[in-house]
């Protein structure tokens, strides 16, 4: 734990700079450059809204905002986990030249993806104004929900990073798995309203992503209080997983370089 904090402090500047430059290089050659950070979630929101409202004729109050919240936070989780699987081998040029605690690479991805999520959530706030969503103090719950989401993403990523080094086709498995979780998290439908009981509440209890999305919407759009106990449980579980993940990485990072 002490080593973790020291490493974090020592490499903090690098990870922020690296995340910045990653964002920069992502848009370096595109014509619309940073507009893509706005366009990308916006267009996807339209696609899913179209499918649900026109094709499946289902809707929720403030539906576009509803989809947008789900999509933005899902993208953060999905991208970070996906990139973590291949993280060591895609950074082999760095990893084989200098010593770098490998979880710093996860931070880099989390900063970059987190920045994109923040941009999307600014759009969410703007859309909430346009749709005149009533606000209540419950909106403050988004802070603990986001913290839990970030911890959960980090924990999952540390585990993926470790096994991704040794198991070559893990990324294929993870891609399918993430797709499955995507459909089970209620990005473009409401689990509590559309999924029959007892499956609905079961899904909310067992799939943390579904829980986070549901609670984000509850506190931002519908003036409800989130599932506080469940959130606390997942927060503690994520902390535990992160701690285990960090421990594993410290123990085995020596051999990562030798495998690639």
Partner 1 sequence: MENSRNSNENNIVIDVQDLKIRYRCLNKMSIRKSLLSLKKSKIEIFEAVRGISFQVPKGEIMGIVGKNGSGKSTLLRAIAGVFSPDEGSIDLHGHSVSLLSIGVGFQKKLTGRENIYLSGMLLGFSEEEIDNKIEEIIEFSELGDFINRPVKTYSSGMYSKLAFSITAILETEVILIDEVLSVGDSKFKKKSYKKMQQLITNEDRTVIIVSHNNDTLNKLCNSILWLHEGKIKMQGSPGEVLEAYEEFMS
Binding site for partner 1 (CB under 8 A): 10, 13-14, 17-18, 21-22, 24-26, 28-29, 91-100, 165-170, 173, 254-255, 257-259
- 94 or 147: CB nearest partner 1: 94
Least gap, CB of 253 to partner 1 (angstroms):
9
Least gap, CB of 163 to partner 1 (angstroms):
10
> Measured between alpha carbons, how far is 222 from 233 in angstroms, rounded to an integer?
23
**Which residues neighbour 242 within 8 Å (Cβ) at sequence distance 6 or greater?**
151, 154, 155, 158
- 136 or 175: CB nearest partner 1: 175
- 28 or 140: CB nearest partner 1: 28
- 159 or 209: CB nearest partner 1: 159
> Measured between alpha carbons, how far is 23 from 254 in angstroms, rounded to an integer?
29
Rg (CA), the chain: 19
Least gap, CB of 84 to partner 1 (angstroms):
16
**Which residues neighbour 190 within 8 Å (Cβ) at sequence distance 6 or greater?**
60, 66, 214, 217
Least gap, CB of 53 to partner 1 (angstroms):
38
Give me the residue label for tokens 């899913």. 48
From residue 246, give the alpha-carbon distance in Å to each of 4, 9, 64, 211, 233: 8, 16, 38, 25, 20
Least gap, CB of 5 to partner 1 (angstroms):
17
- 172 or 193: CB nearest partner 1: 172
């Amino acid at each position: 734990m002490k080593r973790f904090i020291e490493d974090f402090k020592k490499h903090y500047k690098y990870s922020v700079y690296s995340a910045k430059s990653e964002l920069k290089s992502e848009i370096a050659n595109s014509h619309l450059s940073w507009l893509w950070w706005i366009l990308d979630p916006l267009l996807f929101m339209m696609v899913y809204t179209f499918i649900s409202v026109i094709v499946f004729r289902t809707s929720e109050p403030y539906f576009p905002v509803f989809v947008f919240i789900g999509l933005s936070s899902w993208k953060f989780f999905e991208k970070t986990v996906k990139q973590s699987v291949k993280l060591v081998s895609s950074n082999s040029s760095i990893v084989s030249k200098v010593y770098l605690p490998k979880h710093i690479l996860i931070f880099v991805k989390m900063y970059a993806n987190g920045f994109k999520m923040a941009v999307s959530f600014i759009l969410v706030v703007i859309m909430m104004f346009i749709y005149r969503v009533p606000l209540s103090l419950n909106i403050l719950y988004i802070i603990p929900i986001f913290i839990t989401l970030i911890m959960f993403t980090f924990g999952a990523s540390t585990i993926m990073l470790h096994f991704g080094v040794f198991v070559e086709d893990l990324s294929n498995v993870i891609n399918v798995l993430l797709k499955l979780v995507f459909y089970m998290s209620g990005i473009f439908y409401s689990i509590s309203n559309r999924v029959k009981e007892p499956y609905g509440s079961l899904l909310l209890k067992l799939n943390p992503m579904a829980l986070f999305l549901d609670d984000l919407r509850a506190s931002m759009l519908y003036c409800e209080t989130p599932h506080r106990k469940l959130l606390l449980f997942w927060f503690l579980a994520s902390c535990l997983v992160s701690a285990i993940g960090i421990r594993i990485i410290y123990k085995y990072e020596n051999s990562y370089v030798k495998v690639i």
